[in-house]
Structures are given as C-alpha cells and as structure tokens.
Amino acid sequence: MLNDTPSAEDNIPTTRGYQQEMLEESIKHNIIIAMDTGSGKTHIAVLRIKHEVEREPSKAAWFFAPTVALCAQQKAVIQTHLPVSVGLVSGALEPDQWKSAELWERVLNTHRVIVSTPQVFLDALRHAYIDLGKDISLLVFDEAHHATGDHPYARIMDFYHRIEERPANLRLYGISQVSRPYVLGLTASPIYGGDVVKSFNMLEKNLDCIIRAPRRTRAELAQFVHRPIFQHVMYEQWPDAPFSTNLTVISNIVRSLQIEKDPYVISLRQKLATAKPLTSEYFRLDQKLSITIRTQKTFVFKGLRDFERAASDILLDLGPWAADWYVWRIAEKAREAANPFNNIMASWKDTEKSHLLKLLDSAVLTPVSYGEEDIMCDCSDKLQRLIETLLNEKMETEKRDEVYSGLVFVQRRDTVIALAEVLNNHPFTKNIFRIGFLLGTSDSSRRHSFLDISRKLARETQEETMAEFRSGDLNLIIATAVAEEGIDIQACGSVIRWDLPQNMASWAQSRGRARKRRSTFTLMFANGSQDEQNVRKWELLERRMVELYNDPARDLAMENESLMDTDDDVDEIFFVESTRASTSVHSAISHLAHFCAVIPIRAHVDIRPIYEIDPPDMPLAWHADPHRSNLLPYNGPWGSKVILPRCLPLACREFSVPMKYSSKVSAHRHVAFEAYVGLYKAGLLNENLLPLTSVVAPQDDDILEMLKDVEKRSGMTNVGLQIDPWAGSETQGDETVYWYTARMCIGDMPPLTLFTRSEPVELGMSDGPKLFRPDADGPISVTIVPSGKVSASDRIIHEAKQYTRRLLSSLNWSRMDWDNLNFSYLFYPETRIDSDDVWKERRLWLAESKKDIEAKDRFKEFTSEARVYGEVFGYNKDPVLVLKEFGRPYRFVDWRHEKLTEEEEEELRRKYRRRDDTPLKIVYPLLVVKPFHPRCNFLIPTKPRDPGSSAPEIKYVYLMPEFTGITLISSTEVEYAFLLPSVLRSLEINLTMASLRSNLFMPSPSLQDIPLALLSNAMTASSAGEKYNYQRLETLGDTVLKFLVALQVLVEYPLWHEGYLTKKKDHTVANVSLAKENINHRLYRWIIKEIMLGRKWRPRYSTKLLPPTTPLSEEKIVEELLMVVDEGAELSSKGAARKKKNSKNQGLSTKILADVVESLIGAAYIHGGFPLGYECTKLFGLGLRWLPPPERIKDFLGAVEPDKNIPSALYYVEKMLGYTFKHKVLLLEALTHASYQQDARTVSYERMEFLGDSVLDMVVTDYLYHAPDKNYSPGHIHLRRSSVVNTHFLAYICLKTSVKFDALMPRADDEGIELLADAQEVMLWQCLLHSSSRIMDDQANTHTRFKKRREEIEEGLMNDTIFPWAALTRLQAPKFFSDIIESVLGAVYLDSNGDIGTARDVITKLGILPTLERIVHDNVDVWHPVSRISQWASKHEKKLGWQFEKERGVVKCSVLVDGEVEACAMDDYRGASTQDEVKLIAAENASRSLRLRRVHMNLELNRKGKGKGEGKGKGKGQGIDDRKMRVD
C-alpha cells in the first residue's frame, strides 16, 4: 500500500452537529446510519474514510454503491473532499480486465480509497485477488438495506465473518495485520416492509452493525431535513370498461394464436423427430416441448399476451387515446424490428421475426388523432386528476418565486412512455411542462422479450435526460423506480406517486426526492380501494423503525438477537490452498456460466450450461398425448445434471447430483458447484478459480507486466552490443599470445597472408564471398584457407602491422588513428608483388624528403605532392591513386602537356577559385584523372547492363599537381585497398556466425551442422543492406514455429478446448515471448544490423572479449527488457548520434529480437526439416515442455479409442480425401460439430481444426518459399497464402468436394421389377455430424448459392488473371464449411503419424495446392480488389469514394474517382452482407476498367518489411500490408 498520509487541511465542508455525532459513533463501532435522503450521509462517510486512511495508511477504504451511476457520483464527491487517490472499479467498465491478480494489486497499491459496485469486489474476494483482512480497513455500504438474502452486499460479509475478530485494543495501525475491516452502512430506510424487528435483526446481523440515527442532536437534524407535505389525490375508477379499437385488434390476434403453429414449437418438433431416441438430447427436447406447450411461453405467445396486458393496463390507467397510441406505436416499432434485413433487436430469431411480422401485418390498426378534443375526451379520471395536481403544484411554486421541478413515479415503463406522450400533447400541459422520462435498463429476463422493444422509444439516454433536468431544460420527469435510488436526481419541489409504492423502502426513497423546503409528496388513491390502509401501515412501520434505532437499549441487546436463515442450502465452500480463492454453492452457477461464456463462440451453438432436473418436470411424450392429462404435484426431493459444451472432453462435460435436495434451485446450485470444482481439478481453471484467460508459462510478475508494456508499445529495447568476432579466445593483458594465419586469395591477384586473433573459417570457391566490381568481367571469387599460427612476438607480425596500415590508410587515412597499430586483422603479401621494389624506393625517397615532417602530417607519409613527384620521376605514367587536394581519390590516367581550351581553363579556374580572388596560374603539365566507381560494397551484385545499351561515357577530370597528392603504392595494392573492406565484411559475418554456432548451439550439436551462409541469411537484418536478409526465413520460421507449438500444446493439454489452445499458442509465439528468449540466450549479440558504411569505412581495432554466453537470470531479463523507449524516440541529432555511438548498449526493436528467433528456426528447418526445426525451437524453450513430434503423436494416438460403430458416411469422406484412416475415431472427431448431441465419444472438431489450420499453413508456406524462380518476398508469400487459406476459398473447396458412386435402384415395368443403375453423389459438407436445424438451413442455402456461382468461381480460378474474391465472397458460406477442411487435415496429419507429405497429398487431392500452383505459375493477381483500388488512388493522389443506393430491394455500389463514377455493381438486397458484396464487385470492376494490375513478384533480394498482416489471412483477405504492393 502507499504510505502517503493525507494532509489535515482539505476541502471538506463544515460538519453539522448530528453528522459529528454519527462520525464519533462509527469510529467506536460498526453502525448503519439511518437518516433521510438529503441529510448528508455521504458527508459522514467521507469523514469516516478520512479518519481511516489517516489511521491505517497500509490499507484501503472501500466504498460500495449498488449502481454504476451512483458509484461515479460518490467517487466524484470523495475525490473532491479528500487529498488522496480515489479509484473507480466497475464490472461494467471492462469486465475482462478485472480477472487479473496483477491488476488488482496495482489498484490496491495505487489508491487509498476505492469506489465500486459490490459484484466486482465479491468476485475479487472469491478469486483471492483481494484479502479482506490484509488489504481493507473500512467497508462503506451505500443503500445498505440491500444487504439481505443473496445480494452481493450479504455475500461480501460472508468473507468478513470468516476473519477472526480482533479486539480494538489489540489492533496495530500502520503495519500489515490481519483484522476485520470496520463497517459503515448508509440508508434512508433499513427495511423493505413487514416485521420491523425481524428486518432490523437480519440487516444488523448481516452487516455486523447496529442501526443508528442521531440522538443527542436530533433537533438539529430536523432543521436540515425538510420532510415534504404529505397529500393525497382521490380519483374515480371507470364506471364501465373503456374501449380501445387498436387493443381489440391485438386481443383478437392473441385469441387466434395456436401453440402448434408457433415457430419455436415447430422447431422443437423437427429437432425431436431427427434426434436419436432415448438419448440425452431426445429426453431434453421432449421435456422442452411438453413444457412449452403446457406453459405457452414462447417468444410470440408470451410477447403478444404481455403486449395485450400492458395495453389493457394503459387503457384502464390512462384512457383509450393512450392505449390506442401505445398499440399503434409499439406495433409500428415491432414491424421495423421484425424486418429480417435489419438488426434493431439482435436477440430476436429470424423465424420469430417472420412469424411476428406476419401476425402484425394481419392487424388493421388505426393511427390516433392528435386533436385536442380527441385527447381530452379519452383521458381517464386519474389522468385528469394528475394534470390538475401538476398545474396546481406549478402555480403554487411560482407564487413563491421559485422554479418548479416535478417527478412522477410510475411502476410500469410502458405506462411511463404512454403517460409522457399524453402530457406532451394534452392541451393543458403540452406548452406548460418540458417532459422527459427515465426507464432504466432491461433486466436479463426482458432482453429477449417482445416488449423490450419499448427501450427503442427513448429518444435520449438516461444521462442526457438527467443533465437536462439539472440544467432546467426539463422541469418534469416521468420515471420508473430507477429514480428512487442510485441516481443523481436533484431535490424536487413536487413528487407524485402515480402508482403506490410496493414496499417500505420504495415509500421512503421516493419521498426522499421531495426534500426542498415546502415540497410536497402526493399519493394517488382510487375511491373505495384499500390503498390508504397500506399507506397508514407504512407510516406506522416508519414510526416504529425510528423508535427502534433511537432506542439505546438495543445497543446492548443486539448481540443476543438471532435469525433463522430462510435459505435451506448450507453454503458449501471449496478453497484453493495456494491462493485461498473460493467458490461456493451460491456462487457456482454464475461462475460456471462465466466459464462457458469465455469459450470462443461458434455460430449455431449454444454454449450455455444445460441443466436437467431429476425427476423431469413432464412425463415422456406428454406433448403427444391427445388428452394431455393433468399432472400430479411433486414437491421433491430433486436431483440435477449439468451438461457443458461439446468442445470439452466427456469427463469434463457432464456432472450430476442425486435426488436429495428440497428445491430445484438447490439441486442446480449443487450440481454447478460439483461441476466447477471438477473443472478446477481437471486443470481447466487457474489457481484463482478463473478460466485460463492467460495461459502463459509461470513467470515473475515484473516480467509479465513488462512484456505487456513492450507488446503494447512495440518499442525499442536496449540490449548489449554485438560481439566482436575478431577478438581472440585467449588473452594476456591486451595482447593475444598468438595470431592465426590463413591464405587469402582474391581472384587472380597475388595471395595475401591473413592474420586474425580469432580462429578463421575456411571459405572455398563455393561458399566464399563473391565480389562484383562494376568494371570486372564477372564476379571475383575469394577463398580463405587456414594455415596455422604464429607468435605475437614474431617479426612478421610487426611488418604485417606496417603493411596493413599502409594498405588501409591509402583510402581511409582520415578515419584512422595513425599511431594505433593494434588492428583486429593484419595482411602481408605471401610473395613479393610485382614492381614493389620500385614503389619501395620511391617511398624511401619520400621518407627522406619528409624526415622533418610534423606529427600532424604523418598521414602524408606515403603521399607525395604530384608536381614534386613529376619533376623527380620525369612525369612517368606509373601512378595509380591520386588524391585531389589530398582528399578524394581518383584513378591516374595521364599527364597533359597541351594547353587547355578556353572553356576547360575557365572550368579549372572555377574549380580552384581562391577566397582572396588571387589569379590562378596554370602550370603544365596537368594531371588527367577519372573518378573511381562510386560503389564501395562489392558484395552486392551489380545490375547487368542491357545488351543493346552503350557503355557510359567516361568523364575525365583535370587537376593541378600543386594541389594534388600521389599515393606511392602499386596498382595491386590499390585494388587490395578497394576490395578488402568488402572481404572483411563477409569474413566478419562468417566469423560471427561461427561464434553463434559454437556458443548458442552448444547444447544441441545437431544444429552446429547448419551452414554458415544459411545462418548469415537468418541473422542479417534488412537494415544491414546485405545481399540476403532474414525476412524470407523469418516468414518460413514463423510458420514452422506455430506448427510445432500447435502440435505440442494439443498433446500436452488433452482436456483444453480450442480457445485455451489458441491463447497458449498465441502467448508462446508472441513477439514479446520470443524477444524475451532472445535476450535470455543473448542471441542479439550475433544480429547483423549495421550497414557497411562504404566511403566512411574504417578498420577495426582490437577490443576486449565479451563474457561467454550463459542464460540470464529472471532479474537480468527484467533489467534489460525494462529499458524500453518509444519507437519514435530514436536518437537523431548529431550530438545524440555521437552519444549513441559511445553507448555500451544498442537499440533493437522487440520485433527484430523476435524475428531473428523465427528466422533461425526457418534456417534449421531448411537445412534439416522438422527434426532440426524442432531442435532449434526447443533450444529457446518458450515456456513449453518439448518432446519430439513423433513422440507427441505416439502419445496422442495411444489415447485414441478403438474404432467402434463408425458412421458409414466416414467411408465416403475417406474416398474424397484419397486417404484411409487407421484411427477412424479421429475422422469422427474432425466431422463432429459442437451442436451434435448423440455420439458422445469425441469432443467437437475445434481441436482438430486448431491443428489443421497450422498444417495447411505449413504446406502452403513451404510451397511458396520454394516456388521455382520466384524468390517471393514475405509480403508476396502472405498475399498468395491468404488467397488459399481464407474461409471463403476453403468453403468453396468443401462445397465442391464429393464422391460419386453407382447404386442399384429397383424399378417396376411391364415385365416385373428390375435393378437399374442409379448414380449417387455424397458431398463432404453433408457428412458433418450435427444436431442443428440452423446448420441444415445454412447448408441448403449455401449449396444453392454454390451451384449458382460455381461456374463463375471455377472460371476465375482456372483461367482469369485476377483472383475471384468477389465470387467467393458471394457464397456467404458460414465458417463451419472451412472448419471441416482444416479439421480433416489435422486428423490426417495425426493419423499418418505426423507425415506432412501425406497431408500435402490430401491438400493436393482437395484441389488447394493445384489452385496455388496455378496462381504462382500464371502470376494471378491475388490482391484484394478494395485494397488494390485504394492503393492506386492513394499513389496517384485520386479522391476515392463509395456511393451506396438502395431502391426497390436492390442495393447498388458505385466507385467514385475524383467524384466521377468509374464502375458500379448491384444486387438484390439480402441483408447487411449484401452491401459488402457489391462493394467487392464494384472494386473488381473498377480494377478491370482502370486496367490495374499488381506489379509481379518483387524479385529484388533487399525486400524490406514482412507483410504478415493480421493472423493467417482468413476472412476477406484484407489483412495485407498495402505498403508491400504496387500498381501500374
């Protein structure tokens, strides 16, 4: 906890005497403050919180309010008056985030006061995220009267009562000590009604408090609490039943309803007819059908009856006009919602919408007249009395020069809507009152109900209505009970109860809203009713209540009071020892529902737990009994069974309890409890008894937080420097004991002896570097052959240092330290170089002539002034290297003795113009030179010159010898000087990879066989500017990694459903996880990321050896990874660059750190297939327990059940696949949909689909990587892969896959019965095992669309130059079609003992690989049309627009380019998806019209960017990085 103590000076208003009395009482012991609304209870709570945070700085004070709105309101009040951090926690904000121990710990460490709804706090207690005794010092319960029964307030106190009570004199403050927190309750009405004493005892027992009100200062309280003037209004009831035309129409429809024609009953009968008799699913459907027919509680039946009932109530309450308007308006809104092409009420099913729309269309309803006479004549007496009361109240208020504000409480929200409409249009009120209404939110039971449509009638939100009421824009609110408590409604001058309060609390709460001076509280009574007696009873109860909590004798008697719990359930509790998280019988149903809710949702599947009562409510086949006899009542005992979703294994799918419980609710609670504990024991819940929403390997909390931060920010991580590959392995001081030697041959030049401190690698003609000089006839080969060692003290080392300095300084003198001869590498001629004696004599001459040269001019030791050289040596033509003004190098051509032309002289004078404008004297001869080729990195191939083009013109340059130097070295040495930096670059990379191979791969010797060239490819970043970089290998390695991880987690966690497996895989292969392993193994030290600087190249000097590679500790990983800077904050200024250069760390993005791990895996796979790819992946760990794939598959197959009772349809599938299963249960699982309710042997296909997804990606990516003559970049690999793994294409494959066979069919003719051949065809999608009528409908509808589009799709796939995205999308195939393909591939891979070749054969048989081969061979444009046209518009600075028009059931999309229509498409409107389809077609048409074509494969080797997009490219194929693509 934070230990900052708030200052004594704060912003708290003056405290009244009665508030001070209550504060002092709350400090002495736990109390519930019972005072009227508006008396300042929250102020007392603020004072109490202030006292507690000052007294107990190591814990937090927690304030509860029952609603989110009230939480926000109270948080603002506390934050205003207390100088401490106040937090707001609500499950309505981001509920998934409150399932994290780290989050709760941060909340507790950050805030001293926390405000929340009670449920989110209760969940945190149950999952042990909060320790009530250690973390909390004070609990404040607003609206404390809720703390009864199963309310979260009462359940929170269950945890309180488990803590051992510590006497006040033993409490120590300021240190961590386990003790019960103090409790403070706030309420205006401590009871709901009934027995006051019993209610008091229950509330006090639950909250461990005593109810108190001010005693000594009661008189002062009366001065500040303005009890309203109580008054009542009497109204007459209808003498005769009123009549509503529209209600009569609805009533006739209701009476005509037949339960057997209800769509829900029809669907139940259809399901029952197809269910296997005497199965669990059959019994469940039988029960559901009988209960539905008996209760007639279907959506349409119950909805229309509720509609009729609501309209009848409005008719009696308000009158015919209101009833007619209500029926008309609700029916109009319902027609709109029932339209199958909109989504107003998403929870309404299409069959229900269709049936409802048919019924409503048959209703002839009459719109209401808004004439004043029509409204006034059709109003009830109650409504007239209300209008009179409102007008009188407003008049009296304005007589006192006050602003009127009124609140009318209504019980039913339908009546609220109708009453507001009447008052807004009644001639007496429409220009007098500005009316708004508050409805609250629907509870879960009404979200699917017909009358939930009334929510759509609210024009403004609740918050907007309240804001307008506070500002005075509205002066009258019609509200349901939502305004009684828990909402920030200002004090009103007039509160009217249209409907009488239902209980004591409602009475007190609504009255408390009338707390202005001289305010009124009006109740409306019907003449002759008993309602007045109820009000008198509440007044007596309130008087008795006040007497009790003002009675001092109750303080002593409280401990002796006890109350029998009305709940017959003993709240059995299960604890997790490690965390003390718990679940109980009372909480298990909600916990189990949450577990199922987080399972990835599949269409056509209800993932909610299914509870079956034992014995069943209805006799078997009661619905089929024509007499449908009456049922005898059964009063228990009860048992229950719960069935969880099919994606769980059988052992974790069904749980039951025996018939021993006294109620159905109790039986369901206990079976849910058994199921939840069973899920925990099966490893499907974590130690906090929550679903495994985070299934990463256990790690230090700091690492987890850091990884989350790095992942979100995608930043740069500071890591250690790259290794120095030239550093020796044995040192003595700063000098190595010996130097390694090697023979270096560069083309046909004389060999050099290479000296290195580290052991050189042998590079032959095949694996040595190739140099590409622009003026050479072909590439120059370089070979290096190690030859031995020499002592560091050998004389040749001294001579080699001198020779190396002369050689390298000829071009790089300005970037060298002349006196430093401690080079990392040395060179020396193996034999005497031709003409070396001549140049040696000239260097001796120069040395003699410069023997008095100053130290600062030592760089000129081998460079002579050209004029002096010419005069001494007769202007010979031996020079090679000429330095203009002793700087920029040129190649010597000749001496020019002839005079220049005037233009040439002018150019020369301009070149040598002096600052003082002194005339330049041109002395002949002049030097004629030409520039060297600008290329400095000769490792990159040159672009071949077009055969027909002429050679570039050579431009000669004239230099004045007086200002020019000639370097005294031979032509061979000049060639060495130019070529050696490139040779050294290649050698340095190879030495780096040799170091990686011998260090990183030490635990796995098989990896040491990977060639250096392949490792260099894998470890070179694109920023290095080399011929090859890691991007292609990273794309391949990413796929290999995901494939291997998918197999490992599938077998390691046999009970996990696909949602858990996907989360585990995603966490394992996430960039942050890979970056962590990179740093853990210090792999970053071998990344080649710096570019060869060329003209700024400088030789490398010796450095000290870096420490050996050992895995880092967790603390070190945290230390290195926490050094994160934002990606945009890279150092850019010159000063910052210098600072960065001197740093001991280098900045690498977490993506680069992750990418090289994947590229290494790709390199291992390329060299040794899956066995070596597995070894490389295993090396990094990634938090998994690794076993070789063959062992994993053997373990998996060992647990497969034997083949028994296999459906015959599976044999047809084997023929379609061209593969016969050895374990047919695997194919059974691959074809089992989650809705299937019969054969319970297997889980549904999601686990197989999870693996098959990776298998398909692996085969497709491997093919694209090795595609002949393509060398696809990552972006192009992704584009093509997306085209054949997306859901639309795989659905097409599923729809077209079938097997045909001949059967014999008996036919009768004149001669008798004859057996004739009958051709049959079985489709793959028909072999899916399911129990869903929706799937049957979707299959039939999709197959119809397929037959219509098949020819178009096949033409596009086989012959078109553009991939048929639009045609595929128009199949509108549900995802289960593509799931079948992936799940079957997963089953084939496992059944074939992990033979990826067999999987490839099946993929070929299905037609996936042939399509891909055609895409590659014919360069089919696979770019998504919308992306293509958008990129084209952006590149050409065109304004692109999409225009949609809907008319007469047709939707049209036009593509606008600079406001002009370029192309369009139209189709019949079938829902929201139609708009997406026509947009696709229009984009495709526009592409053809504009002749847009993707430039074919980018064959350049320096491809930047990976272009992986999102996921694997499912959906519509738009997860493509458009920056990777171009258009003509």
Q: What DSSP element (H or E) covers 49?
A: helix 41-55
Residue 1507 CA: distances (Å) to CA of 310, 1027, 1032, 1280: 59, 20, 11, 12
Place of tokens 């209703």: 363
Q: Which two tokens stand for residue 1341?
A: 């509808």
Contact yes or no for 387/429 (Cβ under 8 A): yes
Q: Which two tokens stand for residue 862?
A: 């081998």
Q: Which two tokens stand for residue 501?
A: 């309060």
Which residues make Cβ contacts (< 8 Å) with residue 449, sequence separation at least 6?
A: 299, 302, 303, 306
Which residues make Cβ contacts (< 8 Å) with residue 939, sequence separation at least 6?
A: 769, 770, 771, 772, 982, 985, 986, 1026, 1027, 1092
Residue 644 region, left (φ>0) first, then alpha (ψ -120 to 50), else beta?
beta
Among candidate residues 1219, 1200, 1225, 1237, the one with its CA nearest the CA of residue 1329:
1237
Q: From start to end of 567-606, where are the E strands? A: 573-575, 582-584
Which residues make Cβ contacts (< 8 Å) with residue 564, sequence separation at least 6?
A: none
> What is the layout of strands, in order, in the sheet containing 752-756?
770-771, 780-791, 738-746, 752-756, 825-829
What's the rounded Cα separation, in Å, for the pair 346 and 343?
5
Distance, C-alpha 1354 to centroid of its chain = 36
Q: Give me the amino acid identity at 229.
A: I
Among candidate residues 1298, 1258, 1295, 1252, the one with its CA nearest the CA of residue 1277:
1258
Q: Give me the amino acid identity at 1006.
A: S
Residue 860, number of CB atoms within 10 A of its CB: 18
Residue 364, number of CB atoms within 10 A of its CB: 8
Q: What DSSP element (H or E) covers 794?
A: none
Sign of CA dihedral 844, 849, 851, 855: negative
What's the rounded Cα separation, in Å, for the pair 588 and 578?
20
Which residues make Cβ contacts (< 8 Å) with residue 596, sequence separation at least 6?
A: 607, 608, 609, 644, 645
Q: Which residues are 435's β-sheet partners? A: 476
Beta strands 1312-1323 and 1298-1309 are: antiparallel
Q: Is 135 among the residues known to form the active site?
A: no
Q: Which two tokens stand for residue 353?
A: 């919408």
Q: Is 313 among the residues known to form the active site?
A: no
Q: Which two tokens stand for residue 1172?
A: 């070596």
Contact yes or no for 787/740 (Cβ under 8 A): no
Catalytic residue among 1321, 1351, 1458, 1468: 1321
Contact yes or no for 61/112 (Cβ under 8 A): yes
In SS3 terms, 1063-1115 reads as HHHHHHHCHHHHHHHHHHCCHHHHCECCCCCHHHCCCCECCCCCCCCCCCCHH
Residue 974 CA: distances (Å) to CA of 476, 751, 1277, 1454: 96, 14, 44, 66
Residue 570 region, left (φ>0) first, then alpha (ψ -120 to 50), else beta?
beta
Place of tokens 């489709």: 1323
Residue 808 CA: distances (Å) to CA of 368, 623, 1278: 100, 99, 45
Catalytic residue among 1253, 1257, 1382, 1477: 1253
Provide the 3-class DSSP secondary structure of residue 666: helix
Active site residues: 1253, 1321
